[in-house]
Amino acid sequence: MPAYFSRRSLLCAFTACGAWLQANAEAPLIAYVGTFTSPLQNMKATQVDLPPGNGQGIHLFEVNRSTGAMTPCGLYKTGTSPNCLTFNAAKTVLYSTNETDHQGDNEAGSVSAFAINPKDGQLTLLNTVSSGGKGPTYVSLHPSGRFLLVANYFGGSASVLPIKADGSLGEATDFKQDAGTIGPKTAKNAPPGSFAFSGHDGTHSHMIAADASGRHVLSVDLGLDQILVWKFDDQKGTLTPNDPPFVSLPAGDGPRHFAFHPNHPWLYSLQEEGSTVVLFDYDSDKGRLTSRQTISSLPPGFAGSNFCSEILVSADGRFVYAGNRLHDSIAVFAIGKDGTLTFVSEEWTHGDYPRSFNFDPTGNFLYSLNQRGDNIAVFRIDHKTGTLTFTGHYTPVGNPSSIVFLDLGKRG
């Protein structure tokens, strides 16, 4: 082979490289937003969580990478309240929970799989399968990439769904029904004057996710005031109770969501009715949680009712963000060297009832889904202080519930 390149070959190489860079620089960043919807007239299923929503299904937006602003670019219309979204490992398929009470003649909600068009991000339904319980409200991908984990809120149960080669879903490989003593209607750590009551009328599974190793799966039951821990068989897709099988939160506080620290063995649990964040040390070998700190999600001196919603840890592991509904704020906490939290600030969500929020892929922006305000508000993140600054960008969306992002230039 010659030890040099001709001018023509170099020119072709530079042209090809330039075309590649241009194509990837221009590849759109797509946001998918799941919403609560009104059931379609020909559906047996009904929404089980709220009065009929005014979302239209899964809404697609192209995101401006510099400003965070979103422009509508598509819609998959459905009346099944696709309230929680996640991708497969290759990000070629989008999955949604459908928070309804029927899947065909089966009294259960469902989970749908959608193929993603690699050019424009548009969705094509692959299939829909039963979630095993009513009102599936959370779905996450197991680290093996071969299974989805589903929490059925009104069913008070957890399901494992296998992912087929084409990204579609198979019937459940396991199903677990939560059971135990329901906690009191008054939260032990509720703020003074709180009338917050949401889920202590039965078992309510609110979140499920695996740890980084995939050997253990954690699921939250708000009604039981417990975080359940399971051993996971990633060959069979089955759950086995850990020893011990759960850790209890204070009576009535109602754990809702949790977030692992990206670099240390710490887990942060957010309590919906108690309005607290609890720091746990996490032993990944044994799947054991040990609580070490409890801190309010609300600013000092707050009195009244509040329902917590979402909790996330920044990618750099320096800050925790916790959502407050009714107070309509996102609290910011600094993470100390030992994992303990210090309250930094709270930012108004510029909308009513922030059900969830998420970071864009760069971590520069936070998107607050203001469910009752029918909008998504965009905030710029200060990476030094963790504080949020409203960008002025609102996006109207009926009853937004979940947002995930896909960079079409960086799939797989």
CA distance 306 to 199: 14
**What does the pLDDT average to over 346-372?**
97
What are residue 385's phi and psi, to 5 degrees?
-105, -15
Residue pair 138/89 in contact by the 8 Å Cβ criterion: no
Establish how many alpha carbons lie within 13 A of residue 9's alpha carbon, considering only the half-sphere containing its beta carbon.
Answer: 5
Residues written for the chain: 412
H/E stretch holding 9: helix 7-26
Residue pair 96/161 in contact by the 8 Å Cβ criterion: no
80 burial (CB, 10 Å; 0-12 / 13-18 / 19+) is buried
**Sign of torsion over alpha carbons 321, 144, 61, 410:** positive
pLDDT of residue 108: 87
- pLDDT above 70 covers a percentage of the chain that reads 89
Position 1 pLDDT exceeds 60: no
Instruction: Name the one residue in this structure whose structure tokens are 């094509």.
Output: 124
Position 158 pLDDT exceeds 90: yes
Q: Which of 228, 128, 135, 124 is nearest to 180 (CA)?
A: 228
For every residue of 160-179, DSSP letters joined together read EEEBPTTS-B-S-SEEEE--
Cα of 59 vs its chain's centroid, Å? 16
pLDDT of residue 51: 62
Q: Which of 205, 88, 233, 208 is nearest to 149 (CA)?
A: 208
H/E stretch holding 330: strand 329-335
The predicted-structure confidence for 87-140, as pLDDT tens digits, reads as follows 999 999 999 999 987 666 777 899 999 999 999 999 999 999 999 999 999 999
The predicted-structure confidence for 293-346, as pLDDT tens digits, reads as follows 999 999 999 999 999 999 999 999 999 999 999 999 999 999 999 999 999 999
Instruction: Name the one residue in this structure whose structure tokens are 């889920």.
Output: 199
Tell me the whole-structure pTM to 2 decimals.
Answer: 0.92
Question: CA geometry: angle at 61 spanning 363 and 81, to 5°?
Answer: 100
Q: How many CB atoms lie within 10 A of CB 164?
A: 14
CA distance 155 to 133: 5
The predicted-structure confidence for 327-339, as pLDDT tens digits, reads as follows 999 999 999 999 9
pLDDT of residue 48: 55
Position 13 pLDDT exceeds 50: no
Domains and CATH numbers, the chain: 29-175+389-412 (2.130.10.10), 178-348 (2.130.10.10)
Position 22 pLDDT exceeds 90: no
Provide the token pair at 274. Answer: 């108690």
Residue pair 114/93 in contact by the 8 Å Cβ criterion: yes
What are residue 392's phi and psi, to 5 degrees?
90, -5
pLDDT of residue 128: 97
